[in-house]
Amino acid sequence: MQPQQSEWKDQWTLLEDQEQFLFLDWIHPFTLEDFRGLEVLEAGCGGGQHTRFLAPHARSVTAVDLNTAELARQRCQGLDNVQWVEADIAAMDLGRRFDVVLSIGVVHHTDDPEATAANLRRHLKPGGLLVLWVYAQEGNGWMRWLVEPLRRVFLAPLPRRVVLVISRLVTALLYAPVHTLYRLPLRFLPYYDYFGNFRRLSFQRNLLNVFDKLNAPQTQFLSRQRAEGLTEGLTDRRISPYMGVSWRVSGRAPLEAASPV
Ligand SMILES: C[S@@+](CC[C@H](N)C(=O)[O-])C[C@H]1O[C@@H](n2cnc3c(N)ncnc32)[C@H](O)[C@@H]1O
């Protein structure tokens, strides 16, 4: 079982996310309409930012995270069809299965992404849909070889409020290149597509993105092959890149002989 990882609770206490277009991009080619009337398991709900989008469409949402249930419940008052659960999505056994299991930006932060995905697949009803969004190994050289090592050595021991101040500074510094150099047709630049989104988002949302990278207690960047493996045993398997730095992965549980939870 993973330790409680208080960094995440701190992240969702300090910052909020209200941006829907990113969520819709991450679940593409599916839309919120695809979840209408269905029982959805949201694995790694953080402060409930996506639960708010899902609940009006789904029949029910079971929103799971390590330690943010109370925070998310407070942020999402009035959503009567949501059940908040504190559990480790890699090890939990909720004792029931779902039409949709959705996990956005979480599996790559667990100890063993393959084991976590296997546990999520075990929570699918026959014919149920698994939708994941994970960080890619491809396109993330700077994150893997520079940012992550620096984070581990220098940022991990610091109080989260100090990391927030550093993140604010980094976010502000990124504005100059992103609005000049990155507007030129220089597609060979690292994170070229990714910074296109940076121009669309508010400072506060960009800050959350930067803080998220500097705060995450552990991250694995998954090669295409590993990302594809997350839907092992499923049918209708799909994978597509997003902004050159992440994978959208999905698949359906076979109609017959889905393994019991
Ligand atoms: C980057 S945030 C993503 C939150 C939300 N899905 C989103 O995209 O805004 C990662 C979340 O995964 C949760 N998390 C990480 N490992 C987990 C685990 N083993 N079980 C449950 N939640 C976990 C963290 O607590 C954190 O809230």
User: pLDDT 10s per residue in the chain (261 long)?
Assistant: 556 789 999 999 999 998 999 999 999 999 999 999 999 999 999 999 999 999 999 999 999 999 999 999 999 999 999 999 999 999 999 999 999 999 999 999 999 999 999 999 999 999 999 999 999 999 999 999 999 999 999 999 999 999 999 999 999 999 999 999 999 999 999 999 999 999 999 999 999 999 999 999 999 999 999 999 999 999 999 999 999 999 999 999 999 755 555
Nearest atom in ligand 1 to 89's CA: 20
Q: Which residues line ligand 1 (CB under 6 A)?
A: 2, 8, 17, 44-46, 49-50, 64-66, 68, 88-90, 104-106, 109-110, 212
Q: What is the per-residue DSSP string for the chain?
A: -----HHHHHHHHH-----HHHHHHHHTT--GGGGTT-EEEEE--TTTTTHHHHTTTSSEEEEEESS-HHHHHHHTTT-TTEEEEE--TTT---SS-EEEEEEES-GGGSS-HHHHHHHHHHTEEEEEEEEEEEEBSTT-HHIIIIIHHHIIIIITTS-HHHHHHHHHHHHHHHHHHHHTGGGSS-TTSTTHHHHHHHHHS-HHHHHHHHHHHHH-S---PBPHHHHHHTTTT-EEEEEEEETTTEEEEEEE--SS-PPP-
Number of Cβ within 10 Å of residue 147's Cβ equals 17
The pLDDT score that the predictor gives to residue 2 is: 58
Q: Which atom of ligand 1 is nearest to the CA of 23?
A: 8
Question: Quick one: pLDDT at residue 247?
Answer: 98
Query: In testing the pocket of ligand 1, which one of 109, 167, 213 has its CB within 8 Å of the most ligand atoms?
Result: 109
Atom 3 in ligand 1: which residue has the minimum CA distance?
A: 105
Q: For the segment 46-99, what is each residue's pLDDT rounded down to a tens digit?
A: 999 999 999 999 999 999 999 999 999 999 999 999 999 999 999 999 999 999
Distance 154 CA to ligand 1 centre (A): 23
Report CA(45)–ligand 1 centroid distance (Å).
6
> Which atom from ligand 1 is nearest to the alpha carbon of 8?
25
pLDDT of residue 260: 53
- Contacts of residue 191, defined as CB under 8 A and 6 or more positions apart, other chains included, come to 139, 142, 244, 245
| CATH numbers and ranges of domains, the chain | 6-137+220-252 (3.40.50.150), 141-215 (no CATH)
Q: What is the model's pLDDT at position 4? A: 76
Strand order in the sheet with 124-135: 82-86, 60-65, 39-43, 98-104, 124-135, 246-252, 235-242
